[in-house]
Amino acid sequence: MTTLAPEHPTLDAGALHALLQATHGDPFAILGLHAWGARQVVRVFRPDAESVRILPAEKLSKAARWKPVELSKTEQSGLFEILLENLTAPLRYLVEVTYKSGEVSAPFQDPYTFERVFSGFDAHLFAEGQHWNLYERMGAHLMQLEGVSGTVFQVWAPNAKRVSVVGDFNGWDGRIYPLRKLVECGVWELFIPGIGAGAHYKFEVLNAHGQVVLKSDPFAFFSQNGLQTASLVYDLHQFGWSDEAWMEERAKKEWHRSPVAVYEVHLSSWRRKLEDGGRALTYIELAHQLIPYIKDMGYTHLELLPIAEHPFEGSWGYQITGYFAPTSRHGTPDDFRYFVNFAHQNGIGIILDWVPGHFPKDIHGLSDFDGTKLYEHADPRQGEHCDWGTLIFNFGRNEIRNFLIANALFWLEQYHIDGLRVDAVASMLYLDYSRKPGEWVPNNHGGRENLEAIHFLKRFNEVCYSRFPGIMTIAEESTAWPGVSRPSHLGGLGFGFKWNMGWMHDFLHYMALEPVHRRFHQGEITFSLLYAFHEHFMLVFSHDEVVHGKGSMLNKMPGDPWQKFANLRLLYAWMYAHPGKKLLFMGGEFGQWSEWNHNKSLDWHLLDSPQHDGLRRLVQHLNWLYKNEPALYELDDSYAGFEWIDFHDADHSVVAFLRRSAGGDVMVFVVNATPVPRMGYRIGVSSLGFYSEILNTDAETYGGSNVGNHGGVWADNHAWQGRAHSLVLHLPPLGVVGLRWEAPKLDSVPTTI
């Protein structure tokens, strides 16, 4: 029969002191069940307890049966222990705590009796930077271990002296649940029975300098936002997806040969619930308001400014502290999954802005995580963005590249995200980005290229595309770096698309000119065709163009209100006619007068005005036209899909060009960038037939003056501009006309030709 000795052994004074001061780096060496000579000792550390006793964990045979026994308290320190004798089998026990308030806990399994969860193979993959499912290990995970339900907590802090998990389950006391350190990889872990979904927690880190800091979980699936920064235990295995048809079709998609029209949105300010204090909409509300709107507008994709958890609203999500948690501003992670699922059911893809280039200095975040420069570069010449007040990831470290690539895969896997637009790629590629001489460190070859970041970007693209066919990665890259959207095995960075920042700057500068001066700047709007097919480009008018005093899209246009609208209609039509995929930031589609303000809703009341609603209808028509005319998207990356008809008429600020599809469809576009109608304007074409006018930005329905071509024109045999045939057109003021070539039929050709 088992006997329980009331006396307890004396713990080493140094070990006891370290435990009491929460500086002991190996709590498993003290707490739990341990051999003591021929006997065994059970130790429980609960400074919040009045008394502690242990109970049998299971029904025992009569011979092994024992009664609950109270542990002795060591010198009022919070350490409780008991010495056990004559054990014939391993002891299985539960702990019951009577708190100083008199409350008694439900019996629970001792956390310090479980084996490690983070395996040696996990450690090996993490050390070499290729643990692509790292999010299935690190962080807080609900699980059953040895038949016991609870949560395992794991965090990487190799230079910490001690790490504890604290939360609403232990009074935020770092002495109660210190973690075990796995010395071969620097990961700390602890399985705590009984902790379920919804528990609030942080990691209390005794860092390399002996300072105690509270850190949010870098791998948390759910977090508080703003001033409250606790992480929350969350179960990611309960949501039921119903987007199988979309996902199967996406896997077969070739986006370079498909229409991609993107609506860029900041979720908190797209629309607000004014009748409820002007609060932001929830993910569920956004699903049923935003998705139908962009579906009706004809967009193919929705791009979201970063929705990963961030404390500061004014960063727009670009300064992230919770890389694995969709912001709780709009609801739970499963609410966001509902939003994505609903978008897919309605034929809309979701692109996330992803920020691997930098992170903020917030004390609860990644900075100085274990008292050392763990996630960031130690050298400030490589580790800090002075312009943004943020820190730069150390791309040369295997574990950091693993953290970031696993994060990208997490969004693609767990949230069915269709694309990642990578922010500020130029800042990652160049060591001297926004730095003066002497403020940066050359690479090993003496150059300015960040070789470690280049390796990271290539690997990121390789892994994402290999694991998730049909997704897209998009680079916001503002320089002339070669091969951004070329596969890495051909020397490129491996992105699917690149934002065409040069086109955007040239066209906005041109359009901001008074029309009388545009004749002197014809080269600005033809230059983009010299490089348009060097990359897979996306043409963008993004959020960056409508902030910081740059004015709204409508207010960038010159002239009186009528001319401003006409100019903007011209610009959007020109954008859709130009080779490249399309992106427009919210509010631009209906001509918001004011700059974007992240703290308020868009000015939806403007749609009561015929001019604003007319602009919206034009964008809607452009999306419809773009998706239904293969000539506008099939050969976006080839000279075979574009041909100048004439770009020499600078005196009249007129250009004409055509677009072709792989199947021989032809569309002709003529732009008149002055407010003067051009009646009887002749352009050359190569083929006879009828040219249907399927686009006229001056149509009355869009708010224009209705100068046009009455549905289309026939080509005649008048040779012009080096072509055998020509069209005589009426060009509207500040307008674009688009015509589709209809192959001639013998019985339909006018006898006058």
Catalytically active residues are: 423, 476
The dihedral region occupied by 418, where left means phi > 0, alpha psi between -120 and 50, and beta the remainder, is alpha
Nearest to 571 by CA among 582, 411, 304: 582
C-alpha to C-alpha distance for 332 and 338, rounded to whole angstroms: 10
C-alpha to C-alpha distance for 143 and 190, rounded to whole angstroms: 12
Contacts of 61 (CB under 8 A, 6+ apart): none
DSSP designation for 719: -
CA 457 to chain centre: 15
Contact 233, 140 (CB under 8 A): yes
Nearest to 501 by CA among 550, 472, 469, 538: 538
Residue spans of alpha helices (H) in 578-635? 610-628
| Longest alpha-carbon distance in the chain | 117
Task: Taking the CA atoms of 128, 134, 140 and 146 in sequence, report the sign of the dihedral they define.
Answer: negative
Nearest to 15 by CA among 49, 41, 51: 41
Nearest to 372 by CA among 211, 576, 509: 211
3-state secondary structure of 225: coil
Rounded to 5 degrees, φ, ψ at 684 are: -85, 145
C-alpha to C-alpha distance for 685 and 668, rounded to whole angstroms: 9
The dihedral region occupied by 523, where left means phi > 0, alpha psi between -120 and 50, and beta the remainder, is alpha
536 to each of 200, 256, 498, how far by Cα in Å?
45, 7, 6
